Chain A
């Protein structure tokens, strides 16, 4: 293998370090391949590993003329945070080997697969042996081996950086009793539900947040009795008063009398909260009605593998059977089932006016997914940026989703790993692409949010619970004289993006909610529900490919199987009421500020192309993709704004300060479809051509061999 490049010039390039960031090891004369064309083109530079990131530094990176429009200030294009590393492979004599712990031999090439789906190829053949040893074992050690929580960069950064929280941030953090009370008031849930202080000092449970909301009729003793298990915890109230609740179950009990007592306790609770003024109660045990965390993890592991492409040949080889490959991962099917479940819950709340109680062992995984999705679909506030962020705070961060374990940030146990939060983002993305005007944020926002899962300068995704965060905040801070740590929140987008780049997070298509007109709102939102149903001759439930049939059956079986049928009125509900709800909603024009139901038929569930294809040059459309139309809209908005300013000047008014910033695009016609993520602008206009194509039509041999028309041409020749 030859490599044709200029002699490496060893310029002294130093990594840009964040406060608290320490250089751990480095190697020079490392050759980084450009993924672009499978050739051996690339650049020489220095590979470094710090307590925050792995970084490749080349001479070019210093030049500013190619400054991308959308740049992350914390993680550059050649930076990989230690938490972002997915897998590291070494290449020995052309063979790839997974690198995990202690190494005996050192590879010639290093391939780093990242959780944000980037792939880095480094050649170490020209690097001094000593340096190879140091850098490879350093990288493997710091990114792949178990870590103590306190060794997370989060802490070094927090103790070194003077962090000031952004005052303008409108996200509700749900850290105070006030926040919960405001949320109750906002959703008009305060008549039947109350925020409790029972868990102050975490005396109920370390898993529950400091403050949470329960039905008013629940006593403090019951909350304390089983550490909060078996207690319905309020998530959200629908406009008609029906509420979405969640509950963690009791651990499997060997002792019969204990489980008898628990059962009696539960019966008591159900009785209390299904009496008026409370609505009828529906239970949904998510651990049996949805795929397990294990299934989700397996599916995602397979799915992401499809996008970690080594080279062009790889890309086209997998293209041939792309659809069946996709399907075999099961990831899209899981998304579909989760969306379907959310529709089911929405129907109960909206149409049947029943409370829905989601049940799960800890109530911090699928409960978070479903309750968040339901709120995104039913509450247009959750479709604004601050509303969505508040929702993530409420259901996930304070709600106690175990981010640390689920992301396996500390490499403690792979068994706990499951991309539950990513699953939510994937589901929300389906809605965003199906209803572009309904969301204040863009898919780019969701993509960078998913990337932020691996940036350990924010506390948001680096703790398992509020308790864990609180105790670690103060714990060792005695050593540093700075008092308790002040962590950054990911919602402070200014930390990662300057205002110009932040503009890409705002959806130019978002139609802001018109000023509430109270007299009209009621009729608009309530009354149409019953008219929704199709007054046609009732269709017999479609037999063969029943739309919701399996699901409804499942639901009923589940509920009845649990012998709590007396709390449920579902028996007289026709099994296709859900389907009717779905169909009739979809037959009406969409109200972008009202209820939003995802379309879940096979062709409607898509791959989140921006997140998964963004680093693959073969998938790039030069001058195409949705960005092409988005760019036209942005151009026009910019023009309208400048006209507005001119108008104001003509009116000789003060300059209006409330102008939403619009991203500036130049030469938008030639933007890549991978924008704003495409780093390598391919200059060539050569089209991408499949290198392997499918020809095989085994089952239609006779047809294949026929000619278009049966005419014997040889006759003409005589």
Chain B
């Protein structure tokens, strides 16, 4: 996130602090006054002199300010000024290091582990319990859920011109897809979350299945997450359905209603082909799930379906993988044997498997013309990754800024990806086995696609990084809680702001200048290690040594050319007007300015 407004070292530009920071010619940023940035509704809690143990530049003397939203550090020295600007929401763990009797310089203080691939370490004076206050204040405001406090999102008083809560309306999104139609209907059976408390209230199901049928199917699907429509192909009418695993169990139970329901889905696009079921898990895990009552669709029970396992690992494997990744990039980038270290984290292999799975889903729907059912165990982690990525590949609408917001809102937020559990918002239990970087992995996959197709996405890298930053920050209500049901209970849309308000109010910042709109073109990334890259600008962004040039020179050149073109067009028009008046009306052949312009624009 090294934007031009970023203060120099190891700092975070989450906030629009640029108003106060002006960039000097040598790239150093100076604060014009001592005041720390504050959002409306943000209140100062405490401050203290500390030594920030910067892993890149050594100890930095500074003053740390803690508010109910952030930790802000400003160095005493001005050359260069070191600023840390960390929303408390990114904090995963706070530890005391050293005791009152610890010897050695800077051995007494706090060690803070963050969710965004960094650690912060502060040394404090040993005298007079100076550490106790700050530890308590930090713990309280970083983990409000564990202290019966509100998330900052509920006290945030920011105002934005755009209202992000208006971005996603399930009804209009389904209408955009051409639904309902004669084969698919909208059902309100889950209006009060009675059928399934982790699903949205509005669902699209086969026209030929009654609400009674749905209830019967729900009994056979884990957590009642029945197969419902995510996306329909405008031409083939093949659909992407999502659900959870069937409750087959050790004894191999069958359920006639589920079997019939899947057959209705298969027939709905009018093709005679089989229904394709993608089980995101490795087959061993799917089999093992039978022991706890789960399982997969067996051949005997579902003769009209073919089942494929996509071999994507569980949330625990992903969490460990990210941990390993952090080990090799923070604070120092593993230098010797970088490639084999990277390989040993398996992070990119997981990305490859997720992308490969999504490509298969998309290709089946698009060229195989067969409807597809996707599930994993509960259908809120791997399933969300697969359906949303496949939709991104098939539907160019989701590659726009608003379309992507709709996609996240729909496939992730409304379908109950357990953001609260996976991220651990405001929760002090840092070792919770429910935490896992599933959404980060999805955003990484999107980044890989945008890297491979730099003109296909309306949004830029900054957009993705901003989403990830506010996944943790708790400044917006967007990613809070585990389900739509709980969000409604907490009245999130009334009491908090949406992240999309921030983004849509300043769209140009998140727009990719190279974007060319292309309708209905399937976009398949190449899921080969030859093309997959570590997302350095995200995972290694705190390291000042590894930093991409900002602004991107290629982008800059393009913008210059655009400006030049517009300037030429303007000057040409002026010239032609003056020339025309000089020649008066004698020459009829001279082109008029408007003709000129339209001629030029046909290039695009």
Contacts and interface: CB of A to CB of B under 8 A. Distances in A.
Interface in B176-196: none
Nearest to B61: A537
Q: Which of A583, A646, A647, A669 has the most CB of B within 10 A?
A: A646
Interface string A311-325: 000011001111110
Contact of B553 (A436, A544, A587): A436
Interface in B303-324: 311, 313-317, 320
A713 to B, nearest CB: 3
Contact of B339 (A508, A602, A642): A602
Given A603-B333, A687-B359, A618 B352 contact: no
A621 B452 contact: yes
Contact of A323 (B314, B342, B360, B516): B342
Contact of B528 (A650, A690, A703): A690
Q: Which of B311, B333, B348 has the most CB of A within 10 A?
A: B333
B60 A544 contact: no
Interface stretch (B33-41, B144-152, B287-295, B501-509): B287-295
A18 interface: no
B100 interface: no
Interface string A674-718: 000000000001111110011101001001111111111111110
Given A603-B546, A621-B531, A650 B575 contact: yes
Contacts of B525: 621
B135 interface: no
A695 B378 contact: no
A512 interface: no
B343 A633 contact: no
A711 B292 contact: yes
Interface stretch (A44-52, A80-88, A127-135, A624-632): A624-632
Given A590-B549, A707-B314, A669 B455 contact: yes
Interface string A171-197: 000000000000000000000000000
B528 to A, nearest CB: 5
A713 B247 contact: yes
Contacts of A531: 26
Contacts of A437: 553-554, 557
Interface in B514-543: 514, 516, 518, 521-531, 534, 536, 540
B295 to A, nearest CB: 9
A690 to B, nearest CB: 5
Given A636-B558, A706-B314, A717-B253, A690 B527 contact: yes
Nearest to A712: B292
A700 B317 contact: yes
Contacts of A714: 247, 249-250, 292-293
Given A319-B530, A717-B293, A639 B456 contact: no
A327 B340 CA distance: 7
B272 interface: no
Contacts of A620: 526
Nearest to B311: A695
Contacts of B336: 545
B377 A707 contact: yes
Contacts of A717: 247, 249, 253, 293
A196 B516 CA distance: 59
Q: Which of B311, B313, B360 has the most CB of A within 10 A?
A: B313
Question: Which range contains the number of A residues in contact with the other chain?
Answer: 35 or more
Contacts, number: 277
B339 A619 contact: no
B359 A643 contact: no
Given A590-B549, A636-B562, A685-B367, A669 B557 contact: no
Q: Which of B222, B353, B545 has the most CB of A within 10 A?
A: B545
A286 B253 CA distance: 73
Contact of B524 (A589, A673, A687): A687
A324 B453 contact: no
Contacts of A686: 363, 367
A517 interface: no
Nearest to B524: A687
B170 interface: no
Nearest to B314: A708
Nearest to B512: A629
A587 B544 contact: yes
A126 to B, nearest CB: 35
B393 to A, nearest CB: 8
B332 A624 contact: no
A711 B339 CA distance: 38
A542 B340 CA distance: 22
A693 B353 contact: yes
B294 A713 contact: yes
Interface string B336-367: 11111111001011001100100110110001
A545 B335 contact: yes
Interface string A502-541: 0000001101000000000000000010010011111110
Contact of B526 (A621, A635, A694, A703): A621
B301 interface: no
B340 A703 contact: no
B470 to A, nearest CB: 25
A95 interface: no
Contacts of B353: 693-694
Given A619-B531, A647-B568, A717-B247, A583 B367 contact: no
A582 B335 CA distance: 15
B456 A539 contact: no
Given A639-B600, A717-B293, A602 B333 contact: yes
A328 to B, nearest CB: 8
Nearest to A544: B332
A636 B561 contact: yes
B297 interface: no
B576 interface: yes
Contacts of A583: 544-545
A601 interface: yes
Contacts of A621: 452-453, 525-526, 531
Contacts of A602: 333-335, 338-339, 341-342
Contacts of B260: none
B571 interface: yes
Contacts of B518: 669
Given A623-B456, A640-B568, A689-B359, A703 B524 contact: no
Interface of B: 8, 26-27, 56-60, 77, 79-80, 82, 222, 247, 249-250, 253, 282, 284-285, 288-289, 292-294, 311, 313-317, 320, 332-343, 346, 348-349, 352-353, 356, 359-360, 362-363, 367, 376-378, 381, 434, 452-456, 514, 516, 518, 521-531, 534, 536, 540, 544-547, 549, 553-554, 557-558, 561-562, 564-565, 568-569, 571-572, 575-576, 579, 596, 600, 603-604
11 contacts: A323-B342, A509-B554, A586-B547, A590-B549, A602-B338, A635-B604, A685-B524, A690-B527, A695-B282, A700-B320, A708-B315
Interface of A: 315-316, 319-324, 326-327, 332, 435-437, 508-509, 511, 528, 531, 534-540, 542, 544-545, 547, 582-583, 586-590, 599, 601-604, 607, 609, 613, 618-626, 628-629, 632-633, 635-640, 642-644, 646-647, 650-651, 669, 673, 685-690, 693-695, 697, 700, 703-717
Given A544-B332, A636-B565, A707-B314, 4 more contacts: A583-B544, A619-B531, A650-B575, A716-B293
Nearest 10 Cβ contacts at the A-B interface: A602-B338, A714-B293, A713-B293, A687-B524, A322-B529, A539-B58, A323-B343, A327-B339, A643-B568, A624-B453
